Amino acid sequence: MLCLRPSMPRLALILMMLAAPASLTAQPIPFHPEKIEDCLSGKKAGPQREACIGLAADLCRRETKGATEVEAAACMAAEANWWRDRMGNAYEAAMKEAALRDVEFAKSISQGAPRMTEDLEKMQEAWKDWSEKRCFFESMRRRGKPDRMVVASECLMRRTAEEALLLEDVAARKR
């Protein structure tokens, strides 16, 4: 079974090492995940929920007066980590739902149809690889620019949030 929490993509590790060291930030990073939670509450549709991505990171940047690139990237990394935790919980719930679906379609599976649990695991592994490469590419597009780290951190935050929301929809049997 795929385990999301212990393993971290190389890009995420690099971004955390670059963006999150407290010794490099001039001030503590104010992170308010309740802004995202408030936004998500009551929203059912994908685009409405996706509008909540980045709210805490944006507030963090506004509250960090004169935020440097490192501090802005740290705000993005804080929200990315929040979404990563949410994604881990959603993956576990989606895997349980997939197992139920596999039981529901046991006859088809016995005749060679794929298992949803296996497909979900493969999809998540592919997503981890793709998101890492996608965000590394976004960073390379900004090579030599001071906001390169911020762009990569924002990419990772958005891709992680989108995946968390997708997995939550899978777990809730939303289409």
The pLDDT of residue 19 is above 80: no
**How much is the average pLDDT of 55-66?**
94
CB atoms < 10 A from the CB of 143, how many? 7
pTM (whole model) above 0.85: no
Query: pLDDT digit string (tens) for 152-169?
Result: 999 999 999 999 999 999
Give the mean pLDDT of 3-13.
Answer: 48
The DSSP symbol for 111 reads T
Q: Residue 2's pLDDT is what? A: 43
**Residue the block writes with tokens 């006859």:** 107
- 8 A C-beta contact, residue 53 and residue 4: no
State the pLDDT at residue 7: 46
Residue 103, classified by CB atoms within 10 Å of its CB into exposed (0-12), middle (13-18) or buried (19+), is: exposed
Query: 17-31, 33-47, 80-94, 149-163 — which is least confidently predicted?
Result: 17-31
| Single-letter amino acid, residue 169 | D
pLDDT for res 44: 81
Share of the chain above pLDDT 90, in %: 70
Tokens representing 49 are: 């929920």
Give the pLDDT band (50/70/90) at residue 34: very high
pLDDT at 11: 55
**69-126 tens-digit pLDDT:** 999 999 999 999 999 999 999 999 999 999 999 999 999 999 999 999 999 999 999 9
Q: Is pLDDT above 90 for 36?
A: yes
Which two tokens mark 66?
């004169």
pLDDT(31) > 70: yes
pLDDT band of 9, cuts 50, 70, 90: low
Domain boundaries, the chain: 10-171
Q: What is the pLDDT of residue 146?
A: 85
